Structure 1
Amino acid sequence: MRIKSRYLSFALLLFFLYYQNLSHLTQAQPTTTGYPCSTSQAIYPCQTYVLFRALAPDFLDLASIGDLFSVSRPMIAKPSNVSNTTNPLQPDEFLFAPINCGCNLVNSTFGNISYAALNYTIRSGDTFWKVSTQDYQNLTTFYSVEVVNPTLVPTNLVIGVNAVFPIFCKCPNSTQRQNRINYLISYVFRPADNFSSLASRFGSTTQSIIDVNGNNIRPFDTVFIPVSRLPQFSQPNVSTPPPPPPPAVVSSKDDRKGAVIGLGIGLGICGLLLILVLGLWLQRDSLMKKKLLAKRKDVEKQQFDRGEKALLKDAEVSLLAEVSDYLDKYKVFGIEELREATDDFDDSLVIQGSVYKGSINGEVYAIKKMNWNAYEQLKILQKVNHGNLVKLEGFCIDPEEANCYLVYEYVENGSLHSWLHGNKNDKLNWKTRLRIAIDVANGLQYIHEHTRPQVVHKDIKSSNILLDSSMRAKIANFGLAKSGCNAITMHIVGTQGYIAPEYLTDGMVSTKMDVFSFGVVLHELISGKEAIDEEGKVLWAKVDRILEGTDDNKVRKLKEWMDYYLLKESISMESVMNVMTVAIACVSKDPLKRPSMVDIVYALCKSDDVFSDVSQEGSSPRSIVTAR
C-alpha cells in the first residue's frame, strides 16, 4: 500500500504541474492597449513588416493571408521568398506581411498609439478575442480593438460591419536610421523563444533587440526586431520532437543484481498499472460529462440556428430595402445562378483576389464576392456612367453565407499591372501607355468633376486599371470609394506605395489623394517598375532629381529611368519628358501643389504622340511591342 500511495502521489504531482503550466500560459496573454508613440521621437508613418505564420485551416494560401492584411499576394510572396503565389503553403511557414505603421491618436486617455489600422469585416462567429488571437495571431489584443472601435459593442457584433484591428508596430527613430536599421519587424514572442535565438534567426543582435523592447517580455507579447534588411527564410520552421533515449542495457553478471533489477521492474509495472486504472476512471468520468455537455450543446445549437436564420432573413430584407432604389437599374441575380456560372466558385475561374469569371446565358461577367453590406458601393456606382469606368451589371445577396456579390462587365485583357509587371511576352509600347494614362485621367476627371457630391476612388493602382479588347483602360474596384471629400478619417485603407502622405498622417480624404495615386501609375508606365520594391521602398520617392540639370542631363537620366522595352522603339523623348513632368507634379508631398485632373488631362493630351498611332476607336496592331 505504501508503494501504491507513493505512485498515486506522483501522479497527482504530475497533474498539478501540468495545470500550473497551463495556467501560466493563459495568464501570459498580453493585456496592454498598445505601444505609445511620438512623431518627434520616430519617423512616422513608415513601411514595415509583421511575421505571420501559415496556419491551418484558414491561412494556408497567400490569397487568404493577403485579404487579412489588405495586400496582394506578390506583396507577401516577394519579401517571404515564396516563388509561386498560387501554391498552398506549409503549416508554420514564415511569411512577411507589409503594413503601414502610423502614430495614431486613440483618445485623451490613451494618447498616441503606434499601430497599423487594418479594416476587417465581421463574419459569423467572430469576436474581438477570436480575430485578435487566432486570425491575427496575437499581433494585437482584443482590448486594443475595443479601444480603437468605441462605437462597436463587443458582445453584439453585427455580421458585415467593418472594424479596425490595430496591428502593433513601431517605426525606427533617427538614431536607428543612422545605424542602418530600416525595419522594426513585429514578432509575437513565444514561450520557447529567447532574445539570442531571435537575433540569430533574423540577423539582428541580442543587445539591439533588448534596446528596443527591454528585458521584461512575456510569452505572446509583440516584440520589435531591428533589422537592416529582411531575412530570407528558405523553408518552414517546423519543430521536431527529440529522439527517444536509447534503451537501458541490463547487466547480468550475478543473480542478486538481476533479482534487484527484476524487483524494480515489477514495482514499476505495478505503479504504471495503478496510474492506468486511475486514468481510465478519470477518462470514463470525463466522457460522461462530455456526453451530457454535447446533448446540451445540440439543443442550444438548434435554438441558435433557428435564431440565426431568422436574423439572416431579417438582414436580407433590410438590405433589399436599403438597395430598393437600385432594383430598376441593376439586375438582381440568384445565388444558384452565380454558382452555376462559376462552377460553384471554382478556384480555376479566379481572375484576381475574390473576383471570378462566370458565364450567364452566354454573356461573360466578372463576379466579385464581397462583404455583406453593398449599400455604400451601390450608392456610388448608381450615379456614375462613363466609358472609362468598369460597368456594374447587377448584384446578388446570399443570406445563408452572409455574402454579397457584385456582377460587373468582363474586361478581356486583364489588369495594367499584369501587362507591366507580369510574365507576358508582349509589352506595351509608348503610345498605348500614353493612351491608357489619358483614359484613366478621363475616368478620374469624371468622378471628381461631374458627380455631386464628388467621388474619391481612394484605391487607384495598376491592378485596378483594366484593359479591354482594344487596349482601352477602365477604372475598377470602387470598394474603398467615398462620396464627398475634404473629410478626416481614422480608418486608413489603401495599397502600399500608392497612398498619399497626408492621408497616412492626417487621414485627409480629398480628390488630391487620387491625383497622387495616378502619379504613381504614371511612374509605373514610364519606368516599368512596381510601386514598391522588395525592400519596401516606394517608387515615387526615387524621382526627385531626374528633371534637374541641363537638357542633355535630363534626357540621360530619364533614359536610365525608363522601361528597357521603350528604348527599343523610336519615340519622342519630348513626349516622355512631358508625361514625366506631370507624374512628378502629381506626387508632390504638398496636396495643394498637385494639379487637378482637368489640368492633367489637358497636359497629357498636348503630346503629338496621342493621336498619331492610337485612334479614338482603339489601338492599332502596332500598339504592342513583342519582347525580344
Structure 2
Amino acid sequence: MGGYSNIQTCLSQSGGSSGGGSSASGGCFLRYSVTPFFSDNDITNIMPYLQKGSSSKKTAIIAGGVGAVSLLLLTIALLLWYRSSQKRRTANRGDILGVTKLQGPTIYRYKDLKSATKNFSEECKIGEGGFGDVYKGIISNGNIVAVKKHAVRTSKEMADFESEVRLIANVHHRNIIRLLGCSGKGPVQILVYEYMENGSLDTFLYGNKRGTLSWKQRIDIILGIARGLAYLHEQFHVCIIHRDVKSSNILLDDDFQPKIADFGLARLLPTDPSHLTTRFAGTLGYTAPEYAINGHLSEKVDTYGFGVVVLEVLSGQNCNKMKNELLTQSLLEYAWKSYNNGTHEDLIDETIDSSEYNVENAKKMIEIALKCTQSPVSLRPTMSEVVVMLVNDASPEPKQTN
C-alpha cells in the first residue's frame, strides 16, 4: 500500500517527455511507463561470448559438465545396488524382521537353527509326531520361532516335505500358521514357523491345561478354525485340502486365536475333482468314512474333521478316548445320542460354568458340528456356509443317516 501511495506523486509527469515513474516501499517495487520496457523480440546473442574462447576450451567445458553428471548418476546407481544386495544378504541369513510376507520363505543356515535349539535338545522340544519333532528356538535377532525337524529317509517323505513347503509358503491368513523359512542338510529337512506361545488346542481340552478355556474363547476358536478352512478351500487361488484336521493340529496364539498347522498331508484339489481317489492318510476318529474306507477325497473331508473338533471343544473330550462310563462309544456317537434324546446339554464340558453360555446357543453349536459330520458328503455344508451359520442365528437341523 505504501508503494502505491508514493507512486501517486508521479502521475503528473505522465504527459511529460519521460512518460513514466516508479516507487519502492517495504519490499514492493512499482513502475509505469508510456513506452515498452523491453524491445520487441529482444534476444541476447551469446555468440560473442562463446567466440572469445577456443573450440577446444568449449569442448572441454561441455565434456566436463557431461562427465560430472554421469559420475553423479553412476554413484547413485552403485549406492542403490549396494543397499539392495545388503538386504538380500540379510534375508538369506534368516533375519525374519527384514523379510516381508510377499518375499516367500527365508533360507536359514542349518548351523544357525542347530544353535538356536541348543542342538535340538530335549529341553527345547515342544511337540512331536509322525511328521517330525518341533523345537522352540531363539535365532540371532532374538525372535522366538518353532523349528520343525524332518528326518527324510524315503522319496515319499521328501515329497511330503516339499508339499508342505510349496503349499504353505504363499498362504497368509490370520487363522493359518505362517511359514517363515526352511533349511536342509543331507537327510535332515527343517521348516521354521512362527511360534505359538499357548501351544496346541488339545492340551486345553483334555490335556494338562484342561478347564482353562472360557465358553467365549471356545466359540471364538471354533469360528477361527472355520474361517481358516474356508480360506483354504474357497478363497485361496487353489483349493487346499488339509486332510488332518484335529485338535493337536490347531495352535493358539497369545490371544487364544486359533491357527491351523501341520500341512504335511495337505493336497491340492484338481479342477475336476469328481470321485478323486487317494491312499488314506490322516487320524482315525477325525477322518470322514468315505475317505477312510474308499479313499474318496474332497474338501468335505476337512469339514468332517472340523465337526469332530467342534465336539471336542464343546465337551472337553478326546474323540477317541472319552472319559466316562460309555467307553464303547465314540464322542460322535455319544453326541448323536444326546442330540436325539434332547439331552444335548449333557455334552457340554463340565468345567464350564453354566452361567457362561446360553442353552440354545450350545444346542446350535452341537447341531452345526453334527451337520458337518453327516453322510453322504452332499449333506455336509461347505466351510463358508459353516462360517455363515456360526455368525447368524439360524439353527440347522442335522440328520443321522449312517
Q: TM-score, normalised by structure 2?
A: 0.65
Question: What residue number does 2:229 align with?
Answer: 444
Structure 2 residue runs of 5 or longer lacking an equivalent are: 1-100, 153-157, 395-402
Query: Residue 126 of structure 2: which of 338, 346, 351 is its match?
Result: 351
Query: Residue 366 of structure 1: which of 127, 146, 168 is its match?
Result: 146
Deviation at 1:475, TM superposition (A): 0.5
Question: What residue number does 2:266 align with?
Answer: 481
Structure-1 separation of matches of 2:350 and 2:234:
36
Question: What residue number does 1:422 align with?
Answer: 207
Q: Can you list the C-alpha shifts for 1:383-442, whole angstroms capped at 9, x where unaligned?
A: 31101000000000111xx01100000011111100001122652111110000000000
User: 3-state DSSP class of the match of 2:337?
Assistant: coil
Change (3 A) 1:512 1:490: closer
1:527 matched to 2:315: yes
User: 3-state DSSP class of the match of 1:546?
Assistant: helix
Change (3 A) 1:544 1:425: closer
User: 3-state DSSP class of the match of 1:439?
Assistant: helix
Deviation at 1:538, TM superposition (A): 2.9
Structure-1 separation of matches of 2:108 and 2:102:
11
1:382 matched to 2:169: yes
Q: Can you list the C-alpha shifts for 1:131-152, whole angstroms capped at 9, x where unaligned?
A: xxxxxxxxxxxxxxxxxxxxxx
Structure-1 separation of matches of 2:110 and 2:185:
6
Q: Can you list the C-alpha shifts for 1:335-389, whole angstroms capped at 9, x where unaligned?
A: 1011100010001111110011101020000010123443222221133110100
Structure 1 residue runs of 5 or longer lacking an equivalent are: 1-325, 609-628
Structure-1 separation of matches of 2:339 and 2:282:
29
AA partner of residue 384 (structure 1)? V
Change (3 A) 1:425 1:518: closer
Question: What residue number does 2:112 align with?
Answer: 337
Q: TM-score, normalised by structure 1?
A: 0.42
User: 3-state DSSP class of the match of 2:366?
Assistant: helix
Change (3 A) 1:599 1:572: same
Deviation at 1:569, TM superposition (A): 3.3
Question: Matches of residues 264-275 of structure 1 in structure 2 within 5 Å?
Answer: none
Question: What residue number does 1:542 align with?
Answer: 334
Deviation at 1:496, TM superposition (A): 1.9
Deviation at 1:489, TM superposition (A): 3.8
Question: What residue number does 2:67 align with?
Answer: none
Give the count of matched residue pairs: 275
Question: Matches of residues 277-292 of structure 1 in structure 2 within 5 Å?
Answer: none
Structure-2 separation of matches of 1:596 and 1:425:
30
Question: What residue number does 1:456 align with?
Answer: 241
Deviation at 1:582, TM superposition (A): 0.2
User: 3-state DSSP class of the match of 2:212?
Assistant: strand
Change (3 A) 1:425 1:438: closer
AA partner of residue 440 (structure 1)? I
Question: What residue number does 1:66 align with?
Answer: none
Question: Matches of residues 172-571 of structure 1 in structure 2 within 5 Å?
Answer: 328-353=103-128, 354-360=133-139, 361-370=141-150, 371=152, 372-373=158-159, 374-399=161-186, 402-424=187-209, 426-484=211-269, 486=273, 488-533=276-321, 537-548=329-340, 554=342, 557-571=343-357
Deviation at 1:540, TM superposition (A): 1.3
AA partner of residue 378 (structure 1)? V
Change (3 A) 1:351 1:457: same
Deviation at 1:570, TM superposition (A): 3.4
Structure-2 separation of matches of 1:337 and 1:536:
49
Change (3 A) 1:442 1:490: closer
User: 3-state DSSP class of the match of 2:255?
Assistant: coil
Structure-2 separation of matches of 1:540 and 1:526:
12
Q: Percent of aligned positions with the same letter in both sequences?
A: 34
User: 3-state DSSP class of the match of 2:356?
Assistant: coil
Change (3 A) 1:421 1:439: same
Structure-1 separation of matches of 2:278 and 2:196:
34
